[in-house]
Structure 1
Amino acid sequence: MKRMKMKRLLLFAFLCGSLMTSCSEDMDDVVDDGVLTDPENVEIEDFIYRGMDEIYLYKSDIPELADDYFDTEQDYYAYLADWDTPANLFYQGLVASQDRFSFITDDYIALENSFSGISQTTGVDYRLYRFSNSNDIFGIVRYIIPGSNAEGTAIKRGDLFTEINGETLTVSNYASLLASPSVTFSLAEINDNTVTNTGEEVTIANSEITENPVLIQDVLEVEGLKIGYLMYNSFVADFDIQLNDAFAYFAAENIDELILDLRYNGGGRVSSATAMASMITGSYTGEIFAKKQWNEDYQNYFLANAPDELFNYFVDKIQGGTDINKLNLSSLYVIGTSSTASASELVINGLKPYIDVYLIGNTTTGKSQASVTLYDSPNFGRTNANPDHKYAIQPLVYESVNANDIVVPYDGIEPDVEIEESLSNYGVLGDPSEPMLAAAINAITGKTSKIQTRTIQKEFNYQEFAESSSLKPNYKRMYIDELPSLNLRN
């Protein structure tokens, strides 16, 4: 449909929304009888289409988003009405094949809460594994969220479980069982290379909590070195002050090196990742931390009118104006896993042109794109969002590369020191003997350059399947605060 026709149609639809009775006959003149079988769904789908048409990173790969794809208004509305649900339109019609991370939600309140670290949870953070040649799965506890209902119970890091509420976990029931109002974990152990129940059960109620992503901050003294250790589990802007306080602690301790544990960090807000990178270095304020590559329309506009929108710069303040606490480090040791994604990878990749960054663990996720929340409003912002529904979309809007134009590989960042968590030896987080932390310490002290642990995974055949954060709306997301106020297409 020609762009001029689209604009006339949208105006017509808006006027008819205000004067539904008087417009009903005229609407029949615009759309064949029966095309708009569900006006409310078409209203939502119209918003979805307009949002993707506006700023989607891979717009040029979707033929239906071409300016001249629809010949008439009838064709456009018939296309929208042809989809059973808004989600089907989004995922099957408008998301490119190479896009693993754009998503839609029918509850943007829950999405906003997740961006602030708020969720319904027992407080048990876990990783799930699937047995080979089976639909059965089992889980292992990675850590207990402080202040949650799980804190102080019998369940702890390294515990395995195979059943929830008396039912064996499978690929089809795990999500509903683990989201139950009350969750009973049937604990298990490894015997003769099999996972078997111990008979012990722990029941924990789900509740709403706000998780501080700063899980551990400590200073370890090893061979005359002061090594800072920070376990940080999500880039949440609401906790930038706590993050900055952690760096104040490290600065006061005058640490020599920093181990940044991002093994369970699936990403988060770009501004928080930029602030963290600035705290680590402290020497590059105003220089390029990352470059943004938008779709053709936005890229060309920014090149001509607002070139600063194409860059993230190192900063000297967090949001709100507080000075950041700087460490002025020339090297960084990062613990990462397959759960390490997006904004975590942004920190690793963005710092590499400036300091030595060493990755200890295994290959990360491989996500270099940022997204933004679009609401059903005239400018896609939260203000004046359509009160009739809670749908929002979170499309990828730009790809991030570092100052040397290097992108995070699609298959992830490979480790310099290779080690993975072993189910039989999870260790205690923050303890220098915990295997992954020990490997990072050894890398600092020069005791190892490349190691690989033999894990029980090879012995009884299982594969990573999911994790507790995969049930949250913001799973493995890197997102910006808001849409640039351009609205170029509409």
Structure 2
Amino acid sequence: MKNFKVLLLTCVALFALTSCFEDMDDNPISTIEINDFVWKGMNAVYAYKDEITDLANDRFNSNDDYTNYLNEYASPEDLFESLLYLPNDIDEFSVIVPNYLDLEQLLQGTTYSNGMAYGLVKLPNAAEDVIGYVRYVMPNTDAEAKGVTRGMIFNTIDGAAITESNFSALLNPTTYTIGWADYDNNGTTVTLTDDIITSNNETLTLTKSPYTENPILTHNVLNVSGSSIGYLMYNGFRIGNENLDELNNVFAEFQSAGVSDLVLDLRYNGGGSVDTAIWLASMITGQYTGEVFFKEKWNTDILTEFEQSNPEALLNPFVTQMTKRNTNGDITYQQSINSLNLNKVYIITTRNSASASELVINGLSPYIDVVQVGSTTRGKSQASRTIYDSPNLSKENVNPNHKYAMQPLIYEAQNADGYSEFYNGLSPDPTFQISEYYENLGELGNIEERLLAEVIADITGLSRASLSSQEPREPIKQISDQNFKNPFRFDMVDDRPLEFNLIN
């Protein structure tokens, strides 16, 4: 855990703009005060501050100059978006929200869900129509109770065909009725232009409710041809104590079973806690304690402060214990890590694998053989944190007059070799580039499931027709998934204690 001080080298007279900021106990919050918070927070911590002219420490010549600048933006959202670096390329992930309570729930993994995790795709021969496919079903949900299973196909919601333009409106309501469909690939698995989707007149009504997903969907030990293979389907890097205990217990089971090979299935894992990524990597290995798992590359001001005061704080090593501390530095959770001491790991990925998932792949690569199987990941090497309107930008002493908060990117996570620029994603070796077939997904964790079968064949050396040697399948346009309303579905969160000093 880290405690450090950051110099805010800006107009410290921001707090003296009394002409705009009257007593908030007697007057409603003004847009300019929230805009002040937005600029101040982004100036302090934004990873790409050096690239944004309007965030320069010498941007304003006077208080009036600064005030006029803030007044140019009608809303905090407008100002925030103007400060993002290449939002269609590099930073499509930083977010501002009007209510940090909603943000906190999302980051904890709590959403409204009917339990059906799905993907939305458009086939090459489709003009507008989109189909949905069930990726998996969450336990103890409406979808599970009503018999929804992985691989089911749907093409209508409340009787309306799903399209790119209407899917969010159709799937947003708390309750909706799904129209199921049959998928006929016309006897070809590679060519998609001749595939046929036909409604089968079967429907099902599903209702959402508050739900916190367990990130461990399934795990088991596969004994195949003398090999003891651990398999873990992990869908989110959660930081809750129970989640951490369960993850550590899975690795204890793998230890007891004498697992010699590990398959980490991150195909639907959009990310989560930086700490959890460090701990998972330490569970996979164990022989690199104290070595650098990843390094933090902040903006120049913060990086300089680190290098002058505590350069070691930029380095995040492999560890033997999971330890959480509060803002006072007191230990609130601690457990010894169960490690497998592996020199090789297989990691299943898709375009939905992002952030903390990519951190595990990138961070382990300098040390062990990481065999990536599936398709290219999302391409997000940056961490974020929640920034509140308070003297130290934490929730302590937060401004009571509004609930705006930001979740900006704060640093790039570089592996021990200094690599972090995988903005287009991390790709498997061509030998292991394999796609899921939506018409025949298979059961997760089953040795016959398409992606897992490829891994097992490589581990065991069993003779088979190579899946990866087939002619590449025609590309399918990925539209969205069940998390389309969650702006943090591809996130890597560093919520470790910070101490900011705003120096006059």
**Residues 408 and 213 of structure 1: CA distance in aligned 2, closer, same or farther (over 3 Å):** farther
Instruction: Give the structure 2 partner of residue 441 of structure 1.
Output: 456
For 1:277-329, what per-residue CA distance to the aligned partner results, in whole angstroms no more than 9, with x for missing partners? 00010111211111111100111111110112211111111131111111111
Q: Which amino acid aligns with 1:386?
A: N
User: Is 2:495 the counterpart of 1:481?
Assistant: yes
**Residues 370 and 413 of structure 1: CA distance in aligned 2, closer, same or farther (over 3 Å):** same
Instruction: Give the structure 2 partner of residue 101 of structure 1.
Output: 93
Instruction: Give the structure 2 partner of residue 89 of structure 1.
Output: 79
Which piece of structure 1 moves more, 66-75 or 370-379?
Answer: 66-75
Q: Give distance in 2, aligned partners of 1:204 and 1:266.
A: 24
Which piece of structure 1 moves more, 238-247 or 476-485?
Answer: 476-485
Of residues 267, 271, 282, the one that matches 1:267 is 271
Contact 2:10 2:57 in 1 (8 A): no
Give the structure-1-normalised TM-score. 0.90
Which piece of structure 1 moves more, 422-431 or 101-110?
Answer: 101-110
Instruction: Give the structure 1 partner of residue 22 of structure 2.
Output: 17
Instruction: Give the structure 1 partner of residue 321 of structure 2.
Output: 317
Q: Give distance in 2, aligned partners of 1:125 and 1:14.
A: 51
Q: Give distance in 2, aligned partners of 1:142 and 1:452.
A: 25
Contact 2:12 2:503 in 1 (8 A): no
**Residues 247 and 20 of structure 1: CA distance in aligned 2, closer, same or farther (over 3 Å):** closer
Of residues 36, 42, 49, the one that matches 2:39 is 49
**Residues 153 and 242 of structure 1: CA distance in aligned 2, closer, same or farther (over 3 Å):** same
Give the deviation of 1:109 after TM superposition: 1.6
**Residues 406 and 6 of structure 1: CA distance in aligned 2, closer, same or farther (over 3 Å):** closer
Of residues 115, 118, 127, the one that matches 1:126 is 118
Q: Give distance in 1, aligned partners of 2:436 and 2:67.
A: 52
Q: Give distance in 2, aligned partners of 1:78 and 1:91.
A: 18
Of residues 67, 72, 76, the one that matches 2:66 is 76
Q: Where in structure 2 are the equivalents of 1:203-352 lying within 5 Å? A: 203-238=205-240, 239-319=243-323, 320-352=333-365
Give the deviation of 1:135 after TM superposition: 4.0
Q: Give the number of equivalent residue pairs.
A: 470
Q: Which amino acid aligns with 1:233?
A: N
Instruction: Give the structure 2 partner of residue 27 of structure 1.
Output: none
Contact 2:24 2:401 in 1 (8 A): no
Which piece of structure 1 moves more, 441-450 or 72-81?
Answer: 441-450
For 1:186-219, what per-residue CA distance to the aligned partner results, in whole angstroms no more than 9, with x for missing partners? 1112235122211111111100011110111100
Q: What secondary structure is seen at the aligned counterpart in 2 of 1:333?
A: strand
Greater helix content: 1
For 1:54-102, what per-residue CA distance to the aligned partner results, in whole angstroms no more than 9, with x for missing partners? 0111101111111222223223222222223222211134444432221
Give the deviation of 1:415 after TM superposition: 0.7
Q: Give distance in 2, aligned partners of 1:488 and 1:263.
A: 42
User: Is 2:393 the counterpart of 1:380?
Assistant: yes
Q: Give distance in 2, aligned partners of 1:419 and 1:201.
A: 32
Q: What secondary structure is seen at the aligned counterpart in 2 of 1:221?
A: strand
**Residues 94 and 413 of structure 1: CA distance in aligned 2, closer, same or farther (over 3 Å):** closer
Report sequence identity in percent.
40
Q: Give distance in 2, aligned partners of 1:130 and 1:9.
A: 50
Which segments of 5 or more consecutive residues in structure 1 lack a partner in the other structure?
25-37
Q: Where in structure 2 are the equivalents of 1:433-472 lying within 5 Å? A: 433-447=448-462, 451-452=468-469, 458=474, 462-472=476-486
RMSD, aligned α-carbons: 2.3
Which piece of structure 1 moves more, 157-166 or 365-374?
Answer: 157-166
Instruction: Give the structure 1 partner of residue 138 of structure 2.
Output: 145
Q: Give distance in 2, aligned partners of 1:477 and 1:291.
A: 17
Q: Give distance in 2, aligned partners of 1:96 and 1:321.
A: 40
Q: Which amino acid aligns with 2:238?
A: V
Instruction: Give the structure 1 partner of residue 158 of structure 2.
Output: 165
**Residues 483 and 91 of structure 1: CA distance in aligned 2, closer, same or farther (over 3 Å):** farther
Contact 1:341 1:365 in 2 (8 A): yes
Instruction: Give the structure 2 partner of residue 178 of structure 1.
Output: 171
Q: Which amino acid aligns with 2:16?
A: L
Give the deviation of 1:381 after TM superposition: 0.5
Give the deviation of 1:16 after TM superposition: 4.5
Q: Which amino acid aligns with 1:127?
A: G
Give the deviation of 1:223 after TM superposition: 0.7
Instruction: Give the structure 2 partner of residue 40 of structure 1.
Output: 30
Of residues 391, 402, 414, the one that matches 1:401 is 414
